[in-house]
Amino acid sequence: MIKFNVPPYLGSEMEYIQEAILNHKISGDGLFTQKCSRKLEQLTKSKKVLLTTSCTHAIEMAAILAGVGVGDEVIMPSYTFVSTANAFVLRGAKVKFVDIRPDTMNIDENLIEAAITERTKAIVPVHYAGVGCEMSTICALAKDKNIHVIEDAAQGVKSTYKGKSLGSMGAFGCFSFHETKNYSMGEGGALLINDSSFREKAEIIREKGTDRSKFFRGEVDKYSWVDVGSSYLPSELNAAYLLTQLENADLINSQRKQLWEIYYKELKNLSDRNYIELPYIPKECEHNAHMFYIKVKDLETRSKLIKHLKDRGVNSVFHYVPLHSSDAGMKYCDFVGEDNYTTSESERLLRLPLYYGLDNDSVYKVVEEIEAFFK
């Protein structure tokens, strides 16, 4: 069976985990957390990166920091993971969905302005498949209207837009290190704080609403409850697992990209003959090969192809069911404008196996079986 995903594992993760155990420092913000944060700051050029327990929690922190509250509105695509919306719904806000672009599956930057009202507090672009949204347009609009940009860059670690790291362009950027992502710590994430005025408050929110981080730096002589907050810092054991991968990020990235290129090259023929569509990468974007997807004619063809592949030992999976058609989505969110592409494009999309350590022959086999299906 060719699996859809295998969590990244270099082989030497155990050494760092053991070191954390032997150092008797397994709770958060020890040496490994610090090293991961510095690595991510170097990689993204973000002024401050805080490791978190998940990308979900990083978005929740961003929602608190952006001051999103009851009755406020937040704009995002409906074609995303539940956490993008949930983080704001938890603050009592109303989520406003706008349609996606069919070429990148990202939010259509030209539809955002029409969804802005006096209550709009944030725009949340989701960089689908690690391919950047049209950030120049989005950031200019947000600046003009005095709204925060919170990037859901869960899939975008090591991707860039016009040379800038995804996650580093909005006031806040959110990464995921879940085991399904390019770099993993099991469960985990990071918050990029690109506007330094939020730095202190972010540390407080992450440390249960206390100024404990300042205390550890020796800036105050006792710590206490100073603001709202929760427990958003991961254990050192998880950070130790992640550090190995961040130190080998170029290796992981280049191997994923090489597999991605094989898919693209080998499936080009089927796309030229209009059986499938291949991903589109805008020229402003350098992507991280987070995902390889194809789009087929319709939902029925997709279901048949999934079955065909499964019967031949290949695990392929579809992706998000648009949030506006879910029970909670209907309760907490509105779709602004027409759903021209969100539903129809999501029904055609199929993700193929891609992970660090997958061998080239498996990719050729997946391609062969897709070709056989269309014969």
Contacts to ligand PLP by CB under 6 A: 54-56, 80-81, 83-84, 126, 152, 154-155, 176, 178, 189
CB of residue 211 to ligand PLP, shortest distance in Å: 26
Q: Which residue, 270 or 354, is less far from ligand PLP as judged by CB?
A: 354
**Amino acid symbol at 209:** G
CB of residue 190 to ligand PLP, shortest distance in Å: 9
Q: Which residue, 189 or 322, is less far from ligand PLP as judged by CB?
A: 189
SS3 state of residue 336: coil
CB atoms closer than 10 angstroms to residue 269: 12
Length of the chain: 375
CB of residue 189 to ligand PLP, shortest distance in Å: 4
CB of residue 61 to ligand PLP, shortest distance in Å: 12
Distance CA 277, CA 283 (A): 18
Q: Are 104 and 111 in contact (CB under 8 A)?
A: no
CB of residue 29 to ligand PLP, shortest distance in Å: 19
Q: Are 92 and 71 in contact (CB under 8 A)?
A: yes
Q: Are 53 and 233 in contact (CB under 8 A)?
A: yes
Q: Which residue, 152 or 347, is less far from ligand PLP as judged by CB?
A: 152
Q: Are 38 and 244 in contact (CB under 8 A)?
A: no
Q: Which residue, 129 or 270, is less far from ligand PLP as judged by CB?
A: 129
Q: Which residue, 51 or 370, is less far from ligand PLP as judged by CB?
A: 51
Q: Are 246 and 183 in contact (CB under 8 A)?
A: yes
**Smallest Cα–Cα separation from 2: which of 312, 338, 346, 323?**
312
**Smallest Cα–Cα separation from 100: which of 76, 81, 116, 117?**
76
**Smallest Cα–Cα separation from 233: which of 199, 293, 170, 191?**
191
Q: Which residue, 82 or 226, is less far from ligand PLP as judged by CB?
A: 82
CB of residue 238 to ligand PLP, shortest distance in Å: 11
Instruction: Provide the token pair at 102.
Output: 């069919």
Burial of 342 (0-12, 13-18, 19+ CB in 10 A): buried
Place of tokens 């280049």: 254
Distance CA 79, CA 295 (A): 15
Instruction: Provide the token pair at 273.
Output: 């003959």
CB of residue 349 to ligand PLP, shortest distance in Å: 14
Q: Which residue, 206 or 212, is less far from ligand PLP as judged by CB?
A: 206
Q: Which residue, 100 or 126, is less far from ligand PLP as judged by CB?
A: 126
**Amino acid symbol at 367:** V
β-strands 160-161, 285-286 pairing: antiparallel
Q: Which residue, 80 or 288, is less far from ligand PLP as judged by CB?
A: 80
Q: Are 337 and 115 in contact (CB under 8 A)?
A: yes
Distance CA 115, CA 15 (A): 50
CB of residue 174 to ligand PLP, shortest distance in Å: 7
CB of residue 153 to ligand PLP, shortest distance in Å: 8
